[in-house]
Amino acid sequence: MTERRAIVSGSTFEEEIGYARAVVDGDWVHVSGTTGFDYTTMTISDDIVEQAEQCLRNIESALTEAGCSFADVVRVRYLLPDREDFPPCWPTLRRCFGEIRPAATMLVCGLSDPRMKLEIEVYARRPQEPGPVSTTA
């Protein structure tokens, strides 16, 4: 049986709506749509780039708890209410994803709170444990 484990961030949204920040299912990690809220204070910046940076910090925390890093991300999805907000985020996003080049999609859609300017979800594959090293020649 494969491991299935929920990772929660402490966001009030998770409790109110009934979801987890991420779910580990065997080798796969599914990180929910993550916004720019600082979940410890439940505050959010008005600045799109600051929201992108906070989104990535929130995602990194979930990936770390799952035993992953950004290097393990294979898919990323960006959701924005305003397509004009996307280009200012590119340098921030490139710092995390530029070397690994995951498959990506950007969608323009409404988000659940008008303060939210960006939501990011990712899928990652946990690194395989190295097998035993043979000492025989």
Q: What is the pTM of this model?
A: 0.89
pLDDT by residue for the chain (137 residues), tens only, comes to 678 999 998 888 888 889 999 999 999 999 999 999 998 898 999 999 999 999 999 999 999 999 999 999 999 999 999 999 999 999 999 999 999 999 999 999 999 999 999 999 999 999 886 545 544 44
Domain ranges in the chain? 4-125
CA distance 109 to 51: 17
Strand partners of residue 113: none
For 4-125, give the CATH class: alpha beta
